[in-house]
Structure 1
Amino acid sequence: MSDSHESEPIRIDTTAAHSARVYDYWLGGTTNFAADRAAGDAVLAARPGLRYSVQANRAFLVRVVQWLAGDMGVRQFLDIGTGIPGKNNTHEVAQAANPASQVVYVDNDPIVLAHAHELLKSTPEGATDYINGDLRDTAKLLSAASRTLDFSQPVGILLLGVLHHIMDEDDPYGIVAQLVAAAAPGSYLVISHPASDLLPATQGEASKRYNQHVATGQRLRSREEVARFFDGLELVEPGLTQWHKWRAGDGPPDGAITGHSGVARVP
């Protein structure tokens, strides 16, 4: 495990809702507490179809990693905002396609750190690592990731359901540009982001309730705002779309999904 965090005591406040644990609750996981479930239920009351959306986002991760590791031959992945381990984690999907795949996970939630051992089970040919880091400290994050990943070779940068926790004042576009600048040509940027312009009548109220109950706030963005993250890159088909539509067959109805997603190649 990267850094010296395994020797530090892990302090988890179970009385305050946390984004990773609320998300785990929506996914049907068990690594959550009463405060997380109460916050999750408050949001679900305003946005009843939200569970379909988070499940579809997880399925999007699986399809993207299968495509990158399989069809595109990407052997390295930087998964930022990992969340609590569940089914079909990035290293499991990538190493099923190619056992030599190398995966670095990044998160700054203490409970994710507590479960990091689940993320470090690699094939003998591959490698996995976990960094206890903050996306906003981008240079430090990249330096730590370079202990496992070779940034002179293509890497898949995964930012799934994390950029909405970066407020405008923290310059999310500059953060993404810094990540892309560190990546070799032939790398890929993958983003999924909750939308402000899909189901605005319910999504706005759901976001308001989320910010009232969860310490880690969120900033929803429109399709145009999400598209800006891909400036200068080559979006692959089908372009910027709802995440259940990205190279998928039949899925949940459009009205259940409230997020934009895209995959772009670094030229």
Structure 2
Amino acid sequence: MTDQSFSPKEIDTSRAHPARMYDYFLGGRDNYEVDREAAELVIGELPDIRVTARENRAFLARSVRHVVRNGVRQIVDIGTGIPTSPNTHEVAHAEDPRVRVAYVDNDPIVATHAGARLTSAPNTSFALGDVRDPEKILHSPAIAEFIDFDQPVAVLLVAVLHFVSEEEDPRAIVATLREAMPSGSFLVLSHATSDFHPGDHDDTFRAYRGSTAPLTVRSHRGVERLFDGFELLDPGVVQLPAWRPDGTPPTPEELRRIGFYAGVGRKS
């Protein structure tokens, strides 16, 4: 099932889009010159952003495996971005092909990729929607008719809430989603921070201000507060590679490169 209710006029290639910039950080090709120029501004100030992007994908995979192994058979991935393998459904279906995965993104270009590379797989759907309007997401046919909110669901907000300003109230957004989630559900979240890369980073903020979504970084406490109403799983809110690593724990030097927090919470 795919909800792609947009017109070609809505596809804006005149401004950078975070999803396409992220694709560039990962070495992808689904981006435009405007995205590459903005991304290079960020790389110039924060060369570790490429490593961070890869670590973010690795965290997504580990967290998806965790929630599926703990009984979740429904996932809503909000702010999915340009499809990058392994996608959420590929990770989930490697554990159990019955898992339903609903993707949500606000970029019509992502929607065009979704039809070819996401929703062609069984038990997947896509909705065009913006995290700033969670009620609209929840009532989208691709979500409401596909996800049973009487059963546990994992909601993924991976690298998306730092594009929500304080005025747009990210805690209220999470609260709206939390209210729709039954007991036994999980919140999976990662978020940019400046805690480990102090400084002004004018080019980075300028790059995102010129894009479709300005950047708002948050402190450790600020990210923790997004989990209000959830029980944080061990090890709590930590840097990406420190969340339940598959192999050797990251060294302090490796952690200093990662300006992202991550965590998983469970609703009792």
Q: Same fold (TM over 0.5)?
A: yes
TM-aligned CA distance change 1:240 to 1:35, over 3 Å? same
User: Pick from 139, 143, 163: which aligns with 1:143?
Assistant: 139
SS in 2 for 1:177: helix
The answer to whether the 8 Å contact 1:10/1:110 transfers is no
The answer to whether the 8 Å contact 1:22/1:40 transfers is yes
Hey, what does 1:179 align to over in structure 2?
Answer: 177
SS in 2 for 1:264: strand
Pairing 1:208–2:205 present: yes
Equivalent AA in structure 1 for residue 149 of structure 2: F
Pairing 1:263–2:264 present: yes
Q: In the comparison of the two structures, how many residue pairs are matched? A: 261
What TM-score results when the alignment is normalised by the length of structure 2? 0.92
SS in 2 for 1:230: coil
Alignment of 1:94-105 (within 5 A): 94-105=92-103
Distance in 1 (CA, whole Å) between partners of 2:212 and 2:187 is 28
Hey, what does 1:230 align to over in structure 2?
Answer: 227
The answer to whether the 8 Å contact 2:80/2:103 transfers is yes
Map Cα deviations across residues 15-66 of structure 1 (whole Å, 9 max, x no partner). 3211111110001000011111111111111111110001100110001111
Alignment of 1:157-168 (within 5 A): 157-168=155-166
Distance in 2 (CA, whole Å) between partners of 1:107 and 1:115 is 11
Hey, what does 1:219 align to over in structure 2?
Answer: 216
Moved segments of 4+, more than 6 Å: none
Hey, what does 2:52 align to over in structure 1?
Answer: 53
How far apart are residue 132 of structure 1 and its match? 0.4
SS in 2 for 1:129: strand
User: Pick from 141, 148, 151: which aligns with 1:153?
Assistant: 151
Equivalent AA in structure 1 for residue 216 of structure 2: R
Equivalent AA in structure 1 for residue 5 of structure 2: H
Percent identity at matched positions? 44
How far apart are residue 4 of structure 1 and its match? 5.5
Distance in 1 (CA, whole Å) between partners of 2:78 and 2:229 is 21
Distance in 1 (CA, whole Å) between partners of 2:188 and 2:105 is 17
Gaps of 5+ in 2: none
Equivalent AA in structure 2 for residue 247 of structure 1: R
What TM-score results when the alignment is normalised by the length of structure 1? 0.93
How far apart are residue 87 of structure 1 and its match? 0.8
SS in 1 for 2:162: helix
Hey, what does 1:194 align to over in structure 2?
Answer: 192
Hey, what does 1:128 align to over in structure 2?
Answer: 124
The answer to whether the 8 Å contact 2:205/2:214 transfers is no
How far apart are residue 11 of structure 1 and its match? 4.3
Hey, what does 2:27 align to over in structure 1?
Answer: 28
Query: What is the RMSD of the two structures over their aligned residues, measured on CA atoms?
Result: 1.7
